[in-house]
């Protein structure tokens, strides 16, 4: 019988091959969810751990929005195509569910490093250089940009509540403050998770290793 050459390859080589494949599918994140380094200051390790766990819990809850989103879209298609009875609410509700899923899960996505990013050059840099790049990008662009978005979304939300704003592009005309609340909360989740990522970047820039990594 012919031998399976793959079974004779070193385990490390096979694992690296799998990692290369996954790198092409998602934006690779050097850090992980493992324990923090023993020499990391306790306050920093506790902050990273608590924030990551909080956004993980939020992500686990928010992912259930997929169920009513799917039900709404399937119901509308069946009602429209089979019974010629389209709804007035399905289009708006599907937009609201998708928007809530996108914004409320953004902090969790950031913690897992799966936001879209062009890292074909970045991934080949040394860990310290990756940490320096991330650290300064968070300070110069990320936090100032999200602070502006938070300020603007706060005004939008307050105005929407006070005016009883309704969507005017459909016949159902739903209230807009629920989805604008999700936008506001999503920005807060991103800012909070950014604090954790800033500390991780600082550690990588100064120690040459992403905290929580397995290697």
Whether the pLDDT of residue 3 is over 50: the answer is: no
Stretch 91-107: mean pLDDT, rounded? 95
Structure tokens, 110: 């950031």
Residue 100 inside a domain? The answer is yes
For residue 198, the enclosing domain spans: 40-116+125-207
Closest-CA residue to 77 (of 87, 67, 69, 68): 87
Residue 63 inside a domain? The answer is yes
Residue 192 inside a domain? The answer is yes
Closest-CA residue to 156 (of 186, 189, 181, 173): 181
Stretch 134-149: mean pLDDT, rounded? 97
pLDDT, tens digit (0-9, with 9 covering 90-100), for 38-89: 999 999 999 999 999 999 999 999 999 999 999 999 999 999 999 999 999 9
Stretch 168-194: mean pLDDT, rounded? 95
Residue 1 inside a domain? The answer is no
Residue 140 inside a domain? The answer is yes
CA 40 to chain centre: 25
pLDDT of residue 169: 86
The total number of structural domains in the chain stands at 1
| Residue 126 near residue 208 (C-beta atoms within 8 A) | yes
Residue 183 inside a domain? The answer is yes
pLDDT of residue 29: 53
Residue 180 inside a domain? The answer is yes
């Amino acid at each position: 019988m012919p031998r399976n050459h793959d079974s004779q390859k070193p385990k490390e080589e096979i694992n690296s091959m799998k990692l290369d494949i996954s790198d092409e599918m998602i934006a690779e994140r050097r850090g992980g969810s493992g324990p923090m380094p023993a020499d990391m200051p306790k306050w920093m390790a506790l902050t990273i751990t608590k924030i990551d766990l909080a956004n993980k819990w939020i992500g686990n809850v928010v992912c259930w929005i997929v169920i009513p989103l799917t039900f709404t879209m399937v119901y509308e298609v069946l009602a429209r195509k089979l019974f010629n009875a389209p709804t007035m609410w399905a289009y708006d509700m599907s937009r609201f569910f998708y928007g809530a899923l996108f914004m409320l899960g953004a902090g969790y996505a950031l913690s897992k490093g799966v936001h879209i990013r062009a890292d074909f050059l970045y991934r080949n840099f040394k860990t310290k250089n990756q940490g320096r790049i991330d650290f300064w990008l968070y300070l110069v662009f990320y936090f100032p940009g999200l602070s502006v978005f938070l300020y603007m979304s706060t005004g939008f939300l307050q105005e929407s509540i006070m005016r009883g704003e309704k969507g005017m592009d459909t016949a159902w005309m739903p209230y807009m403050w629920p989805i604008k609340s999700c936008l506001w909360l999503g920005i807060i989740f991103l800012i909070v998770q950014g604090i954790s990522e800033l500390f991780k970047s600082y550690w990588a820039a100064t120690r040459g290793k992403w905290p929580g990594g397995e290697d």
